[in-house]
Amino acid sequence: MKTLLWVAAIGLVAPGCAVNAPQMAWGKPGVTRIDYGTEVGMCTGHAAMQSSGGNGANTAGGISGTNSTASSSPAPSGASVSNTAAATGGASTGSRSGPSPGGGSTYSGMATSDYAARAATQQQAQEMAAQRARAEALRGCLTERGYQEFALTAEQRAHLATLKKGSAEYHEYLYQLGSNAEIVGKQSRAPGQ
C-alpha cells in the first residue's frame, strides 16, 4: 500500500516539476568533474555580479530622475529657513499649508495610478535588463572556456525535475550529461542561435 501511494505521489508531482526544469544546459565533452564544478561555479559567480548599469543613484520609488526644483546650495547669509523654502517653491514654516500655487508636489499626496504603473514598468524593465546582462556574462564566460549550450530532452528535464535544485545529485546529473560528447554534440545549439 505504501509503495502504491508513493508511486501515485511521484506521478502527480513529476509532471508539475518538469515545467521548473531548465530547457538548456552547458557541457564540454570530456571535462573532468573538478574542472566542470570549478568553471561553471566561477562563471556563475561572475555572472551574478553583473548588472545592467541602471540609474540606481537617481531612482526613487521605481522612477528615475533628479530633483530639479530643490536647490543644493546653502541658504544665503542672513536668510531664514522659511524665506529660503518659499523662494525654492516649498512651503515656509507656518506661513502656508498645502500644495504650492503652481500645482502639488508629487510627494504631497497619493501618486496617480499612471505614475505607479510607469514606476512598475520601469522597474520591471531594469530587472529584465539586469537578467539579460547576467545571462550574457554567463554565456560569454562559459563559451570562452570551451563549453557549448545544449538542449535537454523531455526525459532529461523530467529526471532533473525529480532532483532537488542545487543538490549534489542535481549537479552530478548535469555533469554526466555535459561531459558526454555524444549528448553535447547531438543536442548542441548551433552558434548564433
Domain range list for the chain: 1-52+109-193
Q: Cell triple for residue 173?
A: 546529473
- Quick: pLDDT tens for 51-63: 755 555 555 555 6
- Cβ partners under 8 Å of residue 117, min gap 6: none
For residue 156, the Cα-to-chain-centroid distance in whole angstroms is 26
Alpha-carbon distance 7 to 166, whole Å? Answer: 24
- Quick: pLDDT tens for 119-134: 889 889 989 999 999 9
Q: Using 50, 70 and 90 to split pLDDT, how confident is the model at 168? A: very high
Q: Cell triple for residue 74?
A: 546653502
Alpha-carbon distance 54 to 2, whole Å? Answer: 54
Alpha-carbon distance 64 to 82, whole Å? Answer: 29
Q: Please state whether the predicted TM-score (pTM) of the whole model is above 0.85.
A: no
Alpha-carbon distance 79 to 85, whole Å? Answer: 10
